[in-house]
Amino acid sequence: MEQQTFQFEERQIFAVSEIVGQVRKDLESGFRSVWVQGEISNLKSPPSGHLYFTLKDDEAQISAVCFRMRSRYLKFQPEDGLDVLARGTVTVYPPRGQLQLMVEHMEPVGRGGLQLAFEQLKARLQAEGLFSESLKKRLPLLPAKVGVVTSPTGAAIQDILRVLKRRNDRVSVLIYPTRVQGKSAAGEIAAGIDYMNTRSDLDVLIVGRGGGSLEDLWPFNEEEVARAIFRSRVPVISAVGHEIDFTIADFVADLRAPTPSAAAEIVSGQRSELLSRLEHLARRSLQAVRAQLHRHQRRFDRVQRSRGFVDVETRLQFLQQRLDENRLRLQTSIGPLVQRLGRRRESAGRELEHQIRYLLQARSTRLATCSEKLQAYSPLQVLERGYAIVTKEDGKVIRDPDTVQPEELIHVRVARGRFRARKEA
C-alpha cells in the first residue's frame, strides 16, 4: 500500500491590532479629505470641546468626531437633525474597531454656515436679555472725549475724524487700533472695548468698520465681541458696514449707527441740538415774560383809573392844601406877635421867649397831627395795616359784598402785591 504524505501550508497569524492598523492605513490613504453629506444625530459635546456625532442617510450611518482645535472654528453650532457637508478623513477607531470620520470642516446644506451661526447666536443672546432696551445706556449730551475701536488705516476712522472736525472740533478722540476682519479680529476688538472701559475720561465709545461681505463683517458677529459691548460701562455706538448691514454688535450696543459717519454725526450732533434747544427755550421765556408784563401793566392801568384810587388821591390833595393853609396861618400869627414882643423885649424878654416856645410847640404838635392824618389817609398806609382794595374785573371798587355774584372772579390789592379770588357760594 502506497503511503501518502500531507504537507500543511504554513499559517500567517495577525494580531487584532495589526488588522485594524492595516485597515486604518488603507482607509486613510484611500479616503483622505473626502466630502460626506449626511444628517447629524446623537450629537455629544463634552467639556473637552470635542464634538461626537453620527452622520446618517436613509441606508447607512458612520460615526464622526470633530476635535476641539477644529470645532472652535466652525461658524455655526451643530445640532441634531441638521443636514451638513463634512470634509475629513475616513479612519478606524482602534479601541472599538469602529469606522469613523475625522471631521476637519463642516457647513450646513441649503444655507450658509455664517448665516446659520448668526441666527443661532442672535436667538441665544436675545434669550439671555443682551438686547433688552431697558438695559441700554443713554448717550451723553455733550461728550468731551470719544473712544473709537477700529482699524487705524481703514476708511471708517477717516470718516469719523472728518465729521467730528467739521461739526464739533472740541471733541477729543482716542483710537484703539484693531484688526476688523480675520480670525484674530474678534479678540482684538473685545480687548479694545475692555481697555476703553479702564479709562475714566471717555464719555462714549464707537465700535465699527466700513462695509464688506458677511465674512468681512463676521468679527462683529462673534460672541466675545457681543459680551464685551454688553459689559461696557461706557455707552457704545455700533457703526458696522452700511445701512443694510446688521450685526450682532448692532443689537447689543446702546445705539446702532448705519455707518461710521452717522456715528460721528450722532456724537457731534448732541451739542448742536442742545444749543438749539436752549435758544428755543430762551425765546419762549422772553415771550412769556413780555406777555406777563403786558398783562400786569393793563391791570395796573385799570386799577389806577378806578374810583377808589381817584378818591384817595383827591383827599390827599385836600390834606396837602390844609397843611399849606396851616403853615401860612402860623406864619401870619407869629409875625405880629414878634413885632409886639419886640417893643417889650427889654422888659419881658424871658416871658417872650417862653411864649414863643409854647406857641411853636403847639403849632408843631398840630402840624405833626396833620401829618399823621395825612399818612393815615394814604391808601398805602391803610394797606400796610392789613386792609385791602377789592375790585371787580372792570376795576370798580367793591363796597358791598352783595354786589358780587357767587363764584365771581375778583381782584385783591394788598400792601405788597395783588392776587385774584372767587366768592364762595
SS3 261: helix
pLDDT of residue 237: 95
Mean pLDDT in the chain?
Answer: 82
| Helix/strand/coil for 276 | helix
**pLDDT(310) > 80:** no
How far is residue 190 from each of residues 138, 185, 256, 263, 374, measured CA to CA in Å? Answer: 21, 9, 17, 19, 87
> For 382-395, what is the mean pLDDT?
79
Model-level pTM? 0.52
pLDDT of res. 425: 65
Can you give the pLDDT at residue 2?
59
pLDDT band at 232 (very low <50, low <70, confident <90, very high): very high
Q: Which residue has the higher pLDDT, 105 or 345?
A: 105
Predicted local distance difference test score (pLDDT) of residue 377: 66
| Dist CA 227 CA 219 (whole Å) | 13
DSSP state of 396: P
> What is the band of 147 on the pLDDT scale with cuts at 50, 70, 90?
very high
pLDDT band at 219 (very low <50, low <70, confident <90, very high): very high
- Between residues 244 and 171, which one has the greater pLDDT? 171
Q: What is the pLDDT of residue 112?
A: 66
DSSP class of residue 304 equals H
Q: Which residue type is seen at 313? A: E
Q: What whole-number distance in Å separates Cα of residue 302 and Cα of residue 395?
A: 6
Q: Is the pLDDT of residue 159 over 80?
A: yes
Q: How far apart are CA 159 and CA 206, in angstroms?
A: 12
In this predicted structure, the answer to whether residue 95 has a pLDDT above a threshold of 80 is: yes
Question: Can you give the pLDDT at residue 35?
Answer: 92
Report the distance separating Cα 133 and Cα 300, nearest Å. Answer: 55
What's the confidence (pLDDT) of residue 135?
92
Better-scored residue on pLDDT, 1 or 109:
109
Mean pLDDT calculated for residue range 6-15:
70
